[in-house]
Structure 1
């Protein structure tokens, strides 16, 4: 067997398993990712004309890309926590504009979110709602924020909102996912999903479940299929006996 034939056979078996694949979300690798699936669907409609029950042609319409992400659930929300982290060179997480009374934590302009206070029973102070919570309290707090803490020219609706770190996965701004593949032979490949927006999330707990998982569904704007990359195979040698008195070197 010649060296050229041997290389032809080794190149034939270039494949990747889940153990060879990592996915990065806007430059952040999330090790808890267990599965990623996607599908591409396109509308195809038949075109009919009078005088024939058969389709004259088929017209192709809109295309949709959707899929799901499954993460192993340890002691944190893997996706949210990782997207909150800051790495040198990685894009910062995009904060969302939201009403101060609907969020917790501190906003970019220093506004303290009041959601936790309202949910925990912040009592309404108005005379007609002294024993009520919820919407009455929300109304009063929003009105106070609009006028601000100082007596100024009047109502300012810019005081009602601030930019906060997302609390739910569906609040994350669109992001890209890069799938990198590399096996023991030095072969590499990769693919990309662009403009992913998360729609739904689901999880659950049971005494019968050994592993707890969290699943998300998403839609995407564009998909770049799997493409081979330059091999990083390092030089090396090994001898193997082919037939009596002959050997070759890898």
Structure 2
């Protein structure tokens, strides 16, 4: 990645500053809404005010930030990707589980307003990926090895979810959510490394977040309990598989 093609030279501290600003802005907007985290699913209005507005604001600000820095291309596309492509098995498995989860959803519990508000949640695929595995990755790669890029970006992604404790979620499930997010974040990192673009990770992230939220609305399907277990298994596999993604090959190079 040539720094001369960017408006602002990538620095590690810039990545963490963007990450912290994202957390503060999202937390601030969600706090002002007055809707506790555990009441988002009660109505379309609660969901839109509690989560949707903050995602819209974050989307706009991240787009402005990427434009001002001139980091759009390196945030979305890699010049070099993983030499080994087979670790993409982990993201594929997560996509399958997401589709399976959608089949377990009680769609009869959705009204028009709630469904519309749910669609806004798809923006989380852009906001969280652009923050943790987009702009932060660009910043981290300016100085650190790819191992540290994976670990720090995935840890930052996991810690994003600790804000839910301050929004009303209990401490134990919040800590579990942070750990789970680190593992699932590794799945998204693998998808970026194996495809050479963040776009597919954004799409999978949006699908996954939507499916997990959707299945919890209405009357729970007994099989929905298996989703958490499948997620844990895939997360563990991803942490094992990720070690095979650190060696790179130029995008467009032939062979493995």
For the superposition of Structure 1 and Structure 2, which TM-score range results when normalised by the shorter chain?
under 0.3
In proportion to residue count, which structure has more helix?
2
Return the TM-score normalized by structure 2.
0.18
In proportion to residue count, which structure has more strand?
1
Return the TM-score normalized by structure 1.
0.18
